[in-house]
Each structure stands twice: as C-alpha cells, then as structure tokens.
Structure 1
Amino acid sequence: MTIARPVRALIVAVVFAVCLLVMHFAGSSPSKSSVFKLDSHERDPNLDPTHEPEGLLRRTSKGYLPGPEGTERINATLLALVRNEELNGMLQAMGDLERTWNHKFNYPWTFFNDVPFTDEFKRRTSAATKAECFYEVIPDEHWAKPGWINEDLFQESVKMLKENDIQYADKLSYHQMCRWNSGMFYRHPALEHMQFYWRVEPKVHFFCDVDYDVFRYMQDNNKTYGFTITLYDAPHSIPTLWPETVKFLAEHPEHVHANNAMDWLTDRVRRPDHNNKANGYSTCHFWSNFEIADLSVWRSKAYEDYFNHLDRAGGFFYERWGDAPVHSIALGLFEDKSNIHWFRDIGYQHIPFFNCPNSPKCKGCVTGRLTDGEAWLNREDCRPNWFKYVGMG
C-alpha cells in the first residue's frame, strides 16, 4: 500500500521527536572511564616545535606568507562589532592580536557599527595596524526590531527577565546585537565575497605568539568553526530555545548531520539543573566573542532555515537568546562535529574567563586558570563535556 506524502512526513517527524525524547531521558550516568578529565597542565602538542602537526609544518611555504594581493593569503577578515565610545577597548584588543599574530599576516580589519564611525575612531584604529581597515554601517533593516515583535509583550518579557536577574535584559541594543550576530552579520554586502572571519571584541586579550596562518589552517584541514572556550548559559535566558529547536527538527529532519554533537547539547550529567530549566538543552555553548569560522556555515540552507524559524518565534526579544547558544546548537546539529576545532594554542581572555595554554610562547596568563573571578565560576566550564563527547580535535 502506498503511503501519502503528508503521512510519511508526519511519521518521520514523530519518529525523530521520539528519538530526541529517548536521548533526553535515557539518563544513565556514564562510567568513570567514559568521563573525560581535563588536565589543564598537559603540554599542548600544537605548541611543541618538535611535534608540530602536518598542517603547521607548511606555515613557511608560499601559501603561509603574509602580504597583500599576489600572495596566497586566504579570503578572510578580522571582524569587530564596536561602538565609537569603545575605541580604547578596541585598540587594546587590536594591539594584542597584531603583536601576537596579525603583524605576520596583515589580514584586513572590518569594523561594524549601527551608526557611522567617527574620524577619530578611523584614524586611531587604522594607525594600530599595517593591514587595511574597512568601516561599515549596519543597514537599519538588519538592526531594527522586526515588525512582528509585539512591543507590549516585549516590555512584559523584559520585566520577567529582570526578575530572574538576566543581565542586559532591559537593553534593547543588546537584544538587537544578539540577533545581528546570530543571523544578520553575514548578510552585509561588505562580507558578500568573504570566506572566513575571526571575531574580535573590545577589551579582549591575546597572550600567545601564533606563527601560522589560522585561516589557511582552517581551510587546509577542512575546519569550519574554531573556538577557545565553552561555557554553560543562563537557563532562564533561553527557556524556549530548545523546544523551538525540537519543533524545527521535527519539520526539517533532513538538516541534521549524521556526525552531529547531540550528546553535547543534551548532556544531563554535569548540570542537570540547567538541562531541566532549559527544557532539555544542556546550555553548553561556544563562547562566541571568540570565533573563527567559515561563512558558508551560516549561509547554508540548514542554518538559514533554522535562524528564520527562531527569528519568527521572537525569542531574541521576548527572551534573551544570544548568538552563542544559537550558533552552538546549529553547529552541534547541522555540522560535522569533526570539522569543529579547539584552538588550544591561542591564549585568550574575555573577562572573566581564560584559555591559557601551557607554552613558553604565552605571556601574561596563568596556565590552568579558567577565571580571574569567583571560584564558583569554574563550574561554568563546559570544555570537559565537549572533550568527552567529541574529543580535543
């Protein structure tokens, strides 16, 4: 007997939803041998000159040379969303990254703002690098609150978020920033022909000399996303993000990659409180204030369909969905997890968290320390979960 297409689609959706529920509630604790323990003091093989991976040995070949037109430099940019009043913090971050890496490769900087940059901002940032600098204004249609967001509901939602101590909940610009970083930035004409980007925020620190072209490393090794830190999110900021994701997956099971990181997204062992309050999501996410990525990930049909679904659901404004969990869930579901890379050799800090490699190439950070804040912040580290389910890459 032939089953009608709508019935077949319904059966697929039901089976997928049942599989998700089984994964959520199977609930057996892993054995001690299956739990990865991160040794923060283990020597990083990527930084040992006598044991360099194949991808790094070719860093002095023609393809790794710095320089403008005429070399084989990758089509990539350093990308920053920054306000005029954040100039000093941006100069500090640029100084660190230029000193430790970019003076060797001269990749261009692309700065975005929702208002025009001042002459002072342009003059001082362009003086901080030998690379080209581009200054772009975000179109109103990419930044403004979309027309389907109900203002009264938004204001009521803000009150509820503030009652739950959700940071920045009452700042419209923060909601707009999260939405722009999630699904709008790569649509800007300035990035139309760009392949890779490295996101850099004001006031971040870079501690380690990195001698190879990270963009070429990404391309040569088929990596599509790179991170340094993974953390747990505040579950009260994203209570409906995972239910909306499950709804989307029931409608689009074809987008789920066979080699996905679903276990990482739904782990219940280390922070069951987060999993419960976030309705099935572990809240583990890549801390996206640092990300090196292939723009084709966000331009894919899977991600575009997913972002449009979330955008219409309104959670960027009715809740505080950030680009970090949105990007991370999409990567965990739609991307081959083997293409996601931990840049263990890039020393990095966005207050209050660090990634500090054990290497003589690093100065200014303490090996093994995740945070310079309160001790309880160490509980927010989700890297052991990633290493347990995916590996150290």
Structure 2
Amino acid sequence: MAMPKPIRLLAAATMALFLFLVIQIMRSPTTVKLPGSNDGKVEDMARDPNLDDTGEPPEPLWRVSGHNYDPDNPDSDRINATLLSLVRNKELSQLVQSMQDLERTWNHKFNYPWTFINDEPFTAEFKQVTQANTKAACNYLLIPKEHWEIPSWINQDLMHESANILEEQDVQYAHMQSYHQMCRWNSGLFYKHPDLLDTQYYWRVEPNVHFFCDVDYDVFRYMHDHNKTYGFTVNLYDSPQSIATLWPETIKFLAANNHLLAENNAMNWLTDKERRPEHNHKANGYSTCHFWSNFEIADMNFWRSPAYEAYFEHLDRAGGFFYERWGDAPVHSIALGLFEDKSKIHWFKDIGYQHIPFFNCPNSPKCKGCVKGRFTDGEAWLNKEDCRPNWFKFVGNEWSAADSMSEAAAIATGPAS
C-alpha cells in the first residue's frame, strides 16, 4: 500500500534535513591542527593597514622653521642623535645609494650627523664621497678590537662543527665568521663605542636600502616627546634553525631575573604558537617574531639599562652568537618584548622602506617609488613571513585611530578647488 503524498513529502524533507546536518557537522572545524599545519587558527590580516590612507603620527611634531635645523646652526633644534651605519669600504656605492635616499626624503631638512663605523680604517675616498652626499657632519669610527674579536670563552673547534650542522640545515652565513661577529656587536657592543657613549638616539642605516616617503618632522624629537624607546618598519619571522636555544637561554635568565619583566610586556607576541606553530616548535617556545633591525630608530639608554646589559651578558656567555647564529634582530626584539612597556615601541608606518626582499610602503601622497601595501616583491610564499598580524593582535595598531581621523579630515575637506 502506497504512502499518502503528505507523508512522502515529510519523509523527504526529514531526510534532506538529516543530510544537511551531517554535512555541517563534517565541515565544522572540530579537529585539532597538528604542529606544522599550513592553516593555523589565526588568519592573516584581512586588509594590510598600509592600504589605508596614512598621515603623520600625533603632535607634538618638530618641523623646519626658518634656520632652526641649518647644519651650521650651533643652537639648532637637533637633539642628541645620529644616523648610524656599520659599513665596509667596499660597500661605498651601496651606502651612497642609501644616503641619497634618506637625505632626499628626510635629512636634508634636519641635518643630523652621520656616524660610520668599520672594523678597519675608512679610506680617503670613502670619507670624501660620503661627505659630498650630505651637508651634515660625518664621523668615521673604528671598532675597538676587543669589541669585534671572538671572545676567549668560545671554543673554536665547537664553533666550526656547529657551523657544519647549521649549514646542513640551510642556515645562511653559517661559516661566515664576520657575520657572527657583526650580530654580536650589533646586539650588545655598538653603543659602548667610546665616541658614542654620550649619544642617546640613533637611526640605523644599512647599505643598499631604499627610503620612499618624504618625512617632514624630526623623528628623533618624536621619539623623545612621545616617550618611545624603539621604532621599526618591518616585523618578521626568523629562521628557527638559527636560534634553537635562544629562547631556552632566555627562560634560564628569567628564572633568576623575573623581576626585570615589564608589567605591560609583549610576552604573547614572543610566544605565540597559533599562526606559525612549526616555528614555535623548532625555536623551543619562541614565535621567532622580531623587528627587522636593519631599520631601527632607538634610544640607546635601553641597551644601557641594567636589564638589557644583564640579559646580553647572559646570552654572550652562552655562546649562541657563534655556536648558532643568533642575530641582533631577535635579541633586540626579545629584550624589548620582555623588559620594555610595549606602548613605547612604535611602528613607523609613514616611513617608506625597503631592504630586499621586504617593504614598508604606506598609502600616502608623500611616497614615490613603491607600491602601497606591498610587503614583498619576491616569491609569493614570502608573504607568510610577515609577523605584523601577531603584533596587531597582541599589541594593537596604534595608527588605527590616527588613520581614521586622517581619512575623515580628508573627506570633510573635500578635493582642492
């Protein structure tokens, strides 16, 4: 006997509902992602903030007014700061390119002195050419031998064997002794140079970098007036193979020095394991997020603080600058994330910058020569090296309010007549 039509329709609807629920349950994200999975729980930014209209950071800002920043003005508004470059004689042409970019976009207005440092004497040609590219004063310093040489407690045989292991893991510069020396010097010795002991702020400038945006305020005065310790443009993941024991050594240091932790620290940024779990795993608890220190505008008083000095001494004695390839970028970044108030770390979003292969390129009429919002012009996989999403997640984007106000002001003002 056939079922009545209403019963058949009800049965079909019930079956359709059952199948729908089964499909939804199967599609639900109930499974646990294993370390190394490519689709972690934290998604990348839906929109790069560099695509938003970018103005200037909040006032007060010091600007050129009359002759207040003239290079020969003994009573100028410049503060105790320098442009700082570790550079070799053979890198002169690449350095000149960086100088010309930064002079054009910023320093021709403010005339802050340049300080060049080398582990060997600068040539007459180097001095002549660099001075010809700026109206500001130039200083040429030689690194003290004891600051550059490999410390006595480093076992050279162990260093060589360790480099072999790093090389097998495709770690760059594993056998380049000068690179290890540079990382150690940049981490904890550059600010101890006798001729820099009285200098407070510096802007690190490397050879073969680009600056794209006109900056019309004194960035050093901004750091001072807004109580900022450190400024960055690019925020990346590091190679975990190069720093496998850096975080364990940091934990050892904290076990005896927990009182040095800043109350408003960025520990979550340093230890996140959601977005790149394989990095956290290989680096033994460190996310590997760091500020790319080929650009940094910073207050040397932080490096001279008891907390940082003790931390660097601990790391230096552990030997990881030579047995592994600890870079100054993760060392600086971990220290800032632990021992400084995270509100004192500033993203210089408005300074367009490139160090191959990464960019910081804001959306501003003051910028020329880079594509707004582009993070890299390399292979597409390089985009996953961007750690800004984690910084914004755990620390926040200080520019959100400023950019919204800038955009609102532009809309209110309307197009120029």
Does 2:107 align with 1:102? yes
Task: Give the equivalent residue in structure 2 for 1:92.
Answer: 97
In structure 1, the residue matched to 2:22 is: none
Q: Please list every run of 5 or more consecutive structure 1 residues that lacks an aligned counterpart in the other structure.
A: 1-24
Secondary structure, counterpart of 2:321 in structure 1 = helix
CA contact (8 A) 2:229 2:345 kept: yes
Aligned to 1:178: 183
Cα separation, partners in 2 of 1:205 and 1:233, compared to 1, 3 Å = same
CA shift digits 1:58-107 (9 cap, x unpaired): 53568974544212211100000000000000000000000000000000
Q: Does 1:288 align with 2:288?
A: no
Residue 226 and residue 63 in structure 1: after superposition, are their counterparts in 2 closer, same or farther (change >3 A)?
farther
Gap change, CA 1:335 and 1:348, over 3 Å in 2 = same
Aligned-residue offset at 1:368: 1.2
For residues 167 and 92 of structure 1, the distance between their equivalents in structure 2, rounded to whole angstroms, comes to: 25
Q: Which residue of 2 aligns with 1:273?
A: 278
Q: Is the 8 A contact 2:40 2:276 kept in 1?
A: no
In the TM superposition, residue 30 of structure 1 has moved relative to its aligned partner by: 11
How far the C-alpha of 1:39 sits from its partner, in A, is: 2.7
In structure 1, the residue matched to 2:30 is: none
Q: Which residue is equivalent to 1:307?
A: 312
User: C-alpha displacement at 1:327, in angstroms?
Assistant: 0.1
Q: Give the counterpart of 1:231 among 236, 252, 258.
A: 236
- Measured in 2, the distance between the counterparts of 1:305 and 1:270 equals 31
CA distance in 1, matches of 2:67, 2:369: 31
Q: TM-score, normalised by structure 1?
A: 0.88
Contact kept, 8 Å, 2:116 with 2:139, in 1: the verdict is yes
Q: Distance in 2 between matches of 1:103 and 1:387?
A: 33
In structure 1, distance between residues paired with 2:309 and 2:116: 24
Alpha-carbon separation, structure 1, partners of 2:179 and 2:371: 31
Give the structure 2 partner of residue 78 of structure 1. 83
Residue of 361, 364, 367 corresponding to 1:359: 364
What letter matches 2:346 in structure 1?
H
Structure 2 stretches lacking a partner, 5+ long: 1-34, 399-417
Describe the shift of the 1:61–1:120 C-alpha distance in structure 2 as closer, same or farther (beyond 3 A).
closer
Is the CA contact 2:79–2:220 (under 8 Å) kept in the aligned structure 1?
A: yes
Write out per-residue CA displacement over residues 127-186 of structure 1, whole angstroms, 9 at most, x where no aligned residue: 000000000000110000000000110010000000000001110000000000000000
Residue 123 (structure 1) aligned with residue 128 (structure 2): yes
Partner Cα distance (1:327, 1:63) in 2: 37
Between structure 1 and structure 2, the one with the greater Rg is 2
Distance 2:311 2:68 in 1: 36
SS in 1 for 2:117: strand
Cα deviation, residue 254, structure 1: 1.1
* Structure 1 residue aligned with 2:52: 43
The answer for the alignment partner of 1:168 in structure 2 is 173
* Aligned amino acid, residue 292 of structure 2: W
Partner of 1:147: 152
How many residue pairs align between the two structures?
360
2:236 partner amino acid: L
Residues 1:212 and 2:235 are matched in the alignment: no
Three-state SS of the structure 1 residue aligned to 2:213 is coil
2:385 aligns with: 380
Give distance in 1, aligned partners of 2:54 and 2:75. Answer: 33
Q: CA RMSD in A?
A: 2.0
Q: Judge conservation of contact 2:361–2:371 (CA < 8 Å) in 1.
A: yes
Q: State how far apart, in whole Å, the 1-side matches of 2:67 and 2:312 are.
A: 35
How far residue 253 of structure 1 moved from its aligned partner, in angstroms, is: 0.7
Task: Look up the SS of the partner of 1:349 in the other structure.
Answer: strand
State the Cα distance separating 1:54 from its structure 2 match. Answer: 1.9
How far apart are the structure 1 equivalents of 2:128 and 2:68? 29
Report the Cα distance in structure 1 between the residues aligned to 2:163 and 2:239, rounded to whole angstroms.
15
Cα separation, 1, equivalents of 2:314 and 2:343: 26
Shift of 1:45: 4.2
Pick from 143, 161, 178 the counterpart of residue 156 of structure 1: 161
Query: Measured at CA, do residues 377 and 391 of structure 1 come closer, stay the same or move farther in structure 2, by a change above 3 Å?
Result: same
For the Cα contact (< 8 Å) 1:199–1:291, is it kept in 2?
Answer: yes
Residues in 2 aligned to 1:209 and 1:340: alpha-carbon distance in whole angstroms? 22
Distance 2:263 2:68 in 1: 33
Compared with structure 1, are the counterparts of its residues 223 and 208 closer, same or farther at alpha carbon in structure 2 (3 Å cutoff)?
same
Q: Does 1:254 align with 2:252?
A: no
Corresponding position of 1:331: 336
- Secondary structure at the aligned position of 2:63 is classed as helix
Alpha-carbon distance in 2 for matches of 1:117, 1:40: 41
Distance in 2 (alpha carbons) for counterparts of 1:178 and 1:291: 15
Alpha-carbon separation, structure 1, partners of 2:44 and 2:362: 22
Question: Quick one: which amino acid aligns to residue 63 of structure 2?
Answer: R
Q: Give the 3 Å change call, closer, same or farther, for CA 265–53 of structure 1 in structure 2.
A: same
Q: Name the counterpart of 1:20.
A: none
Q: Structure 1's 160 and 272: CA in aligned 2 closer, same or farther, altered over 3 A?
A: same
What residue number does 1:59 align with? 63
AA aligned opposite 1:267: D
Identical aligned pairs, as a percentage? 69
Letter in 1 for 2:324: E
How far is the alpha carbon of 1:53 from its aligned partner? 2.1
Q: Secondary structure at the match of 1:54?
A: coil
> For residues 172 and 41 of structure 1, what CA distance do their matches in structure 2 show?
38
